[in-house]
Amino acid sequence: MLHRPLPTGLLCITQPTHAWLAGQLARAWGNADFGTFAPWPEVCLGAELHDIGWLRWEPQPTLNLQTGYPHSFTELPPQVSVEIWTGAKQLAMPFGRYATLLVSLHGTGLFHRFTGWQRSLEAIDRVQTYLNQEAEFQQHLIAQLRADLHYEGMATPEVIDRNRQLVATWDTLSLMICMGVRQSKVADVPSANGKTTLTLAAIANDPTRLTLDPWPFQAESMTLKFEGRILSQTFSDEAMMRSSLQTAPWMTISTTITPVSGGDRD
């Protein structure tokens, strides 16, 4: 779950909603400076499904007693995160092998990049077991894809790694947009000729009006919509929080992204 503070409380955005937004970014991605990617439908699907493991957690979110709100994705203990990501591949596999490979690679990539779990001996054992099992699963899928005439050219280490980095890029951008971030950078973004850094910035400090530089999309601007539920109070009881969340009012957010103009640069 993602949190977006509001004057009236907290907007709770599910991980699948955030992933759907990442898929919207994927489907609009690509121009002369950023190139394209293949297999296009499967990579877009992988972006849309990258948080599919959260489907089992989101209907019954756990309560963070320190905040009084449902846990955000950054607040969960690593043991819970491992359980979520361990189940992701089973949920993704009915959609196809290539998208499932990207889901699995995204999950293991998160644990390699964010290593707070290494401070707990119990977490170290569970995370390392997960990483070893996923690595074996990934190699099995890659071998299958390389033996498939349709996918063999798109299952090379270079292509797979570029697609993995693209999913990570769309994931990060979607997180920033959903959470209302007003200024941030995304590094190691694949472009047509290597890698670059994207800068996301709010216009007049408004998180629903953003610029992105350099511009990676086909269209001259983008308008993205997503929704969440508003909690207007905090809780000390998990069952009450869950019940309130199920009946909480919905809110739709519309965010427009444009290239940086000469005036915006100043």
Structure tokens at 138: 């990934």
Question: pLDDT (tens digit, 0 to 9) for every residue of the chain, 266 residues total?
Answer: 999 999 999 999 999 999 999 999 999 999 999 999 999 999 999 999 999 999 999 999 999 999 999 999 999 999 999 999 999 999 999 999 999 999 999 999 999 999 888 888 888 999 999 999 999 999 999 999 999 999 999 999 999 999 999 999 999 999 999 999 999 999 999 999 999 999 999 999 999 999 999 999 999 999 999 999 999 999 999 999 999 999 999 999 999 999 998 445 43
3-state helix/strand/coil string of 131-193? HHHHHHHHHHHHHHHHCCCCCHHHCCHHHHHHHHHHHHHHHHHHHHHHHCCCEEEEEEEEECC
Backbone angles phi, psi at 66, to 5 degrees: -75, -30
User: Around Cβ 153, how many Cβ atoms within 10 Å?
Assistant: 12
Q: What is the reported pLDDT for 7?
A: 94
How is residue 246 written in tokens?
A: 């199920």
Neighbours of 206 (CB within 10 A): 12
* Phi and psi, residue 29, nearest 5°: -75, 145
Q: What is the CA radius of gyration of the chain?
A: 19
Report how far residue 202's alpha carbon sits from residue 212's, in angstroms, rounded to the nearest whole number.
9
- E strand map for 16-126: 63-64, 69-70
Contact indicator for 179, 226 with CB cutoff of 8 Å: no
